[in-house]
Structure 1
């Protein structure tokens, strides 16, 4: 079985490469990744269940759709964006880490939907390996939507905020 950190590292490596499709098997589990536009789709096939049947029973093999729910549960795919969000600027995570909306649990959040920001306005913190990295807006405008919750794990390149420039 793959550890979540191993899967994240594979996604990051594939995302940063020119590879469009990738398949990796380890200890009976297979991961298949395929790039679709800006999204990386991950399918993980669960190991085949071991069935012990009497030698006299000649039952047909289970249909391959039995593993489809497991693959669908692991699939990570960006949903198509509505037309109204297509012209908005996305503030994305520059690293894998934990998203924090405020500098401490008792402090107010940096920004809410409807707040105006400048290029150098700190909008959140992404913590990676015990380092707290302040993320700036990079654009002047109005925060339209906060896409993640405080304490949520975020991936490299994952959209955090939508900004109307």
Structure 2
């Protein structure tokens, strides 16, 4: 199953009223389960799936009665990212810029890419998943460091679409 197909399944389950979804095909099993407003994802080949503990949200402080000052503005990045495409992580895992420690990186800022270009690897549960760009354009910025843990939906790259 391709990463894009998994992304589409995640979106469909997330937008639906389904609480739990299991898909098995060709020796692989994909299980998605919603709990307390968050969705957890796990995939493993023919092995029991260990579900992470539910995420506990910290209690939100009460809103102040009077707000005198407006919230401070976030600092602007070097590139205005409103017209840039974000390549996001399709899963929780470890981000790698190259196929092996001694190999060249897949992409660097300024590189031209097409929609099926592999831009990085995200390792999850000892499986190395190649991440495709899904857009034609130019890499503007790499938002994470090699070996960094990434979350589902976390932006990895900014791309100037063509």
TM-score range (shorter-chain normalised) is 0.5 to 0.7
Give the alignment partner of residue 58 of structure 2, picking from 32, 35, 48.
32
Task: Compare the two structures and name the one with the higher helix fraction.
Answer: 1
Aligned-residue CA RMSD (Å): 2.8
Mark the CA change 1:13 to 1:114 in structure 2 (over 3 Å): closer, same or farther: farther
Structure exhibiting the larger radius of gyration computed from Cα positions? 1
Give the alignment partner of residue 90 of structure 2, picking from 80, 83, 94.
94
Following superposition, which runs of at least 4 residues in structure 1 exceed 3 angstroms of deviation? 12-17, 79-83
3-state secondary structure, aligned to 1:86: helix
Task: Note the residue ranges of structure 2 that are not aligned, 5 or more in a row.
Answer: 1-34, 41-54, 62-73
Q: Deviations over 1:66-111 (max 9, x none)?
A: xxxxxxxxxxxxx676581111000000000000000000000000
How do residues 145-160 of structure 1 correspond to structure 2 at under 5 angstroms? Answer: 145-160=141-156
Mark the CA change 1:80 to 1:86 in structure 2 (over 3 Å): closer, same or farther: farther
* 2:99 paired residue number: 103
1:138 aligns with 2:134: yes
TM-score normalised by L of structure 2: 0.55
TM-score normalised by L of structure 1: 0.54
Q: How many residues get paired?
A: 100
Mark the CA change 1:14 to 1:151 in structure 2 (over 3 Å): closer, same or farther: farther
Task: Note the residue ranges of structure 1 that are not aligned, 5 or more in a row.
Answer: 1-11, 18-22, 25-30, 35-42, 44-78
